[in-house]
Amino acid sequence: MPENEEILRRWLKVLNSYGFIKEEANGFTALLKITEHFFETIWSQMEELWNGKLCNKLANEYLLKNIKALSELFSGEINPTHILFPEGKFDYAEALYKDTFIFQYLNTKIAQKIKEFLDATEHIEILELGAGTGATTDNVLPLIKERKNVIYYFSDISYVFLREAQHKYSEFRNIKYMTLNVNNLDLGKKVDIIIANGVLNNAKNIKYTLDKMLEITSEKGKIFIIEQVEESLEMLVSQVFMMKDSSALEEKGGKTFRNTEEWLRLLRDDRIEKIEVFPEKYNIDQRLFILYHK
Ligand SMILES: C[S@@+](CC[C@H](N)C(=O)[O-])C[C@H]1O[C@@H](n2cnc3c(N)ncnc32)[C@H](O)[C@@H]1O
């Protein structure tokens, strides 16, 4: 598929940087021969190290399915969303967005910060953008279950996620559902907290989206943003095939993800008192940015 050529170029760059291929005048030469046996040995060693620690086994099962379907993903014969949501099921998506070590840490961090806010404030309204499978929602909703003075707006561009969430969170009374596109955030009201986990990367014009998010956040409100800040190999074999919106790519200088510094440059604004970043150690490719509105 011609639109996947860009992904191929990124692949070549990464393989080159690992020393698996060598660039020559008229192409590339493979420097490492990977047999099926070698791959299986390495893969089971990795599973031993990761499963139950960094992620659950479904996350690696999902990656393996993508690796095995790589040629069809490149040619366009297989739709990557069918691998992520087999028969419409959310099990792989939950394994990736909820059950990994890093997302457990970041979503717990968001819940802790929101609890502090709830303890100090009377009436609050929370808006979650791109809430999807509800990985962050799951951590925050138990905090507000008993509070009549809190409203949680669960939003996503896709109605499919709203329908699933309505079913999953049916016992919660103070949750409202809405389709909302981060490229058109005319909410017509202000909220006290905005959560955007893994969705801002889809914004066609990130400056517009961030400006709108600040505009609809009340004074002393908070914005929680989680973003991937490195092009990981796991992404390159899988979800990169779902992130090909050319206008968004162009705006990011042809990269799938902005790094932490690029995000911080975009996030700094006169309306913000301070920005916190988690985790502070920089060998993990996800970051939580917390923006404190003045
Ligand atoms: C990578 S997932 C984020 C994970 C999600 N927070 C969860 O817990 O499942 C991205 C989510 O953003 C949604 N999305 C994509 N583009 C969007 C847009 N332009 N506006 C709002 N939501 C969008 C997708 O439907 C998906 O649910």
Going from the Cα of 74 to the center of ligand 1, the distance in angstroms, rounded, reads 23
* Cβ of 80 below 6 Å from ligand 1: no
Identify each DSSP E strand in 188-285 by its residue range: 191-197, 217-228, 272-278
> Does the beta carbon of 198 sit less than 6 angstroms from any atom of ligand 1?
yes
199 CB within 6 A, ligand 1? yes
State yes or no: pLDDT of 246 exceeds 60. Answer: no
* Token pair in block for residue 74: 């490149």
Percent of the chain, pLDDT > 70? Answer: 96
198 C-alpha vs ligand 1 centroid, how far in Å? 6
Which pTM does this prediction carry? 0.92
The CATH H-level (homologous superfamily) assignment of domain 101-293 is Vaccinia Virus protein VP39 (3.40.50.150)
Is the CB of residue 181 below 6 angstroms from any atom belonging to ligand 1?
Answer: yes
Rg (CA), the chain: 20
Task: Report pLDDT digits (tens) over 143-157.
Answer: 998 888 999 999 999
| Residue minimizing CA distance to atom 10 of ligand 1 | 199
Give the distance (Å) from ligand 1 centre to CA of residue 190. 21
pLDDT digits 0-9 by tens, 208-218: 999 999 999 99
Q: Are 248 and 70 within 8 A, CB to CB? A: no
In this prediction, residues 105-124 reach a mean pLDDT of 92
> Above 60 in pLDDT, residue 120?
yes
Ligand 1 centroid to residue 98 C-alpha, Å: 14
CA angle 134, 137, 138 (to 5 degrees): 85
Give which of 40, 177, 190, 79 is closest to 124, Cα–Cα.
190
Q: Name the residue at shortest CA distance from atom 12 of ligand 1.
A: 130
**E-state strands within 32-81:** none
Q: Which atom of ligand 1 is nearest to the CA of 202?
A: 16
Every domain of the chain with CATH number 3.40.50.150 lies at 101-293
Task: Quick: pLDDT tens for 162-171.
Answer: 999 999 999 9
- In this structure, the residue with its CA closest to atom 26 of ligand 1 is 132
Q: Whose CA is nearest to atom 11 of ligand 1?
A: 130
CA separation for the pair 113, 122 (Å, rounded): 16
Closest to 210 (Cα-Cα) out of 191, 225, 193: 225
Cβ of residue 56 lying under 6 Å from some atom of ligand 1: no
Structure confidence at residue 252 (pLDDT): 67
Q: Is the CB of 247 under 6 A from ligand 1?
A: no
pLDDT band at 280 (very low <50, low <70, confident <90, very high): confident
